[in-house]
Structure 1
Amino acid sequence: MISQALLSLLALPLLTSAHFELNFPPSRGTDDEDQATFPCGGYGQSQNRTLVSPTSIPVAMAFGHTENLVQILLAIGNDVGSSFNYEILPTISEMGPGDFCLPAVSVPADLNITDGTNATIQVITNAHTGGGLYNCADIQFSSTAPESPSSCTNGTGVSAIPLSASEYTFANETSGHSDAESSSASGTTSATASETASSASGSAAASATGDSGAAIVSLGWGVLGAMALGAVAVL
């Protein structure tokens, strides 16, 4: 589970400009001045929920910087507040500005999600000046009518790799973006991404507890990360 010291880090407000968008599931909203506010860039609970599969969630984003850390947390409930208890995408390193889409971020089977369950995902990236940027999307699980993004593609020069066990960090625990162009960027994720992911430790992420008292289940890399980036590689 994610621990309390970590949630305290997540809650640190920072003044910065927003440099990423969550396009699917549609975000609660994006305000450049408040996107560094935990949770959810300062946006409260929305009644507009996107239907997604109980087994996996497509997540489409757009980035303005050339290097980004990306992490996805899940909270289950009708009004989740700041209780994002499950890490469903351990932090990855994304390279290249523009569109970036993960077609199937896995929902842990042991959560025993049933149709009609409400939840919220929070996508975290590192801010340009340090700390994190936050976007949330409210969802409802449905095995019969899940929605899909109108486009799930990666921009030219976009790639992604997992962090190694020794490098693992939460996306907001960083010193900021680098805008230098990456010579290793490619039009699709490297074919070796899933191999690297599967070799990383499943216990790479640290455990902490937060002000909400909730613990975050940190899944680390292992099979989950390999599946997520493996799906990107074939887009």
Structure 2
Amino acid sequence: MSRQFLLPARSTLVAITLLLFTWLHSVSAHAQIVYPAWRGNTLRDEMQWEFPCAGQALTTNRTKWPVDGGALSVIPGWNSGHPTSFFYVNIGFGTDPKVIDNVVKTVFQITAPSRDPFPGQFCFADLSLPANDSIQVGNNATIQVIQIAMNGASLYNCADITFVERGQEDPMPEGMCTNSSTISFNSVFATTSDGLHTAGTRTGIISLLFALSVLAQWILI
């Protein structure tokens, strides 16, 4: 006799999802884009859980950013509970991009001094843009920063920019582009032993956590 495998009812999926969200929200990291200016303060009311830009509408005060790439400054440690997290930096081209999937900075890991909220920030002084021959001075774009916490939760923030010639960008305040000594960086795909196995396992875990977070949001829609 053959066995039949039935998919769980949608109500069951919703229940599972609510449990998953309760777990994901139980401890959460939060980040702030300092430069270019973020769309708005998303540190309140769990806004950062909302894809793709924490529920923030387009800004009317875009940062002028070099057409060949520029700086990005982030404060990652507003909340407690996560001594480490992963970050992605993407960009979407256009005034109101619906898809923000052009990779500006491949995934990297930060390690904090403790599980408590921690001071400090990290900064990339001159990020390179992905190859795109259509980028021109005067075009608009949106930079998206994704933080993935230890429990698999994804948090989102965005900054809207307008491309300008280098030298005409909105200047970053002096001293803002610093990398705090309390924060260390790790390459997600690098390892010193059993390279293929370790890297593959780590990549699979990150992908699974990210997929669970996105699936949970989809089911609740």
Mapped to 1, the partners of 2:146 and 2:30 lie a distance apart of 11
Equivalent residue in structure 1 for 2:147, among 125, 129, 138:
125
Displacement, 1:90?
1.0
Percent identity, please: 32
Task: Say whether the 8 Å CA contact 1:71–1:171 is kept in structure 2.
Answer: no
Q: Return the letter of the residue paired with 1:24.
A: Y
Aligned CA distance change for structure 1 residues 41 and 170 (closer, same or farther; 3 Å) = farther
Aligned CA distance change for structure 1 residues 62 and 171 (closer, same or farther; 3 Å) = farther
Matched, 1:162 2:187: yes
Matched, 1:68 2:105: no
Which residue of structure 2 lines up, in the alignment, with residue 52 of structure 1? 65
Query: CA-to-partner distance for each residue in 1:106-162, whole Å, 9 max, x for gaps?
Result: 102334411001000100001364320000000001114112322100112222122
RMSD across aligned C-alpha pairs, in angstroms?
2.8
Task: Say whether the 8 Å CA contact 2:97–2:142 is kept in structure 1.
Answer: yes
Mapped to 2, the partners of 1:171 and 1:111 lie a distance apart of 33
Larger radius of gyration: 2
Aligned CA distance change for structure 1 residues 89 and 110 (closer, same or farther; 3 Å) = same
Which residue of structure 2 lines up, in the alignment, with residue 173 of structure 1? 210
Task: Say whether the 8 Å CA contact 2:103–2:130 is kept in structure 1.
Answer: no
Normalising by structure 2, we get a TM-score of 0.65
Matched, 1:146 2:169: yes
Mapped to 2, the partners of 1:104 and 1:26 lie a distance apart of 16
Task: Say whether the 8 Å CA contact 2:84–2:149 is kept in structure 1.
Answer: no
- State how 1:87-98 maps to structure 2 within 5 Å: 87-96=103-112, 97=118, 98=120
Secondary structure of the structure 1 residue equivalent to 2:186: strand
Secondary structure of the structure 2 residue equivalent to 1:92: strand
Displacement, 1:174?
8.2
Q: Count residues in correspondence.
A: 165
Q: Return the letter of the residue paired with 1:156.
A: S
Which residue of structure 2 lines up, in the alignment, with residue 198 of structure 1? none
Unaligned runs of 5+ in 2: 1-19, 113-117, 190-198
Normalising by structure 1, we get a TM-score of 0.62
Displacement, 1:175?
8.9
Q: Return the letter of the residue paired with 1:45.
A: L
Query: CA-to-partner distance for each residue in 1:86-107, whole Å, 9 max, x for gaps?
Result: 1111110112242111111110
Q: Return the letter of the residue paired with 2:171.
A: S
Secondary structure of the structure 2 residue equivalent to 1:138: strand
